[in-house]
Chains A and B, each alone.
Chain A
């Protein structure tokens, strides 16, 4: 399953919408979240992503979501709050979909 976040900015006023968009990911064992369009993301939106991670991580047969982040600013944001430690992050959707190194086991 590939979910593309078309919105450029995710903040307190849109994080509920983000949660709704991510809901299908909860029910799919393998998911790629394409954040190529994202230019801004605030802590309330990051929190929604972490909640999604937590819901998936203990489900048998569910892999950790793969994130596609091309913006250097958003990659920096994820690094500052250590979220690059829990998610495999790719520059392009093609890389995320073709990477076979990620097993279906959740990240530690």
Chain B
């Protein structure tokens, strides 16, 4: 059973910590021992979720990456006002915004958003595996 479990905590505005966490996160996906993961899809999920916190809930951010032997799950928690999540529709090509969470919904295989009891939101995204060769 894969025992992957990593945690990053930093202030969302701390761009240097975000870059370092992103690099460590992607290296972890690349070297995941359990099964091959779609590193690019996982990278998009990470970037969009962290950007979301920077833009809408600046403050402390906590990122967890864990594997339960079946799924690899990225969780991003913030201290912001919280938000109610509805599955985003595909934005029009010329739409000004609305691409961030839509991309997350397309690149993750499952997405769950919850308000935290202590305040803020926690987004859990199940990361995409690479297709196994036939």
Contact = CB atoms under 8 A, between A and B. Distances in A.
Interface of A: 11-13, 39-40, 42-44, 46-47, 50-51, 53-54, 73, 77, 80-83, 85-86
A52 to B, nearest CB: 12
Contacts of B40: 39-40, 73
Contact of B103 (A12, A50, A80): A80
A86 B93 CA distance: 7
B55 interface: yes
What secondary structure prevails in chain A residues at the interface with B? helix
A86 B99 contact: no
Contacts of A82: 90-93
A47 B51 contact: no
Contacts of A54: 94
Given A42-B44, A42-B48, 12 more contacts: A11-B51, A13-B15, A13-B18, A39-B40, A40-B40, A40-B43, A42-B100, A43-B103, A51-B96, A77-B103, A82-B92, A86-B93
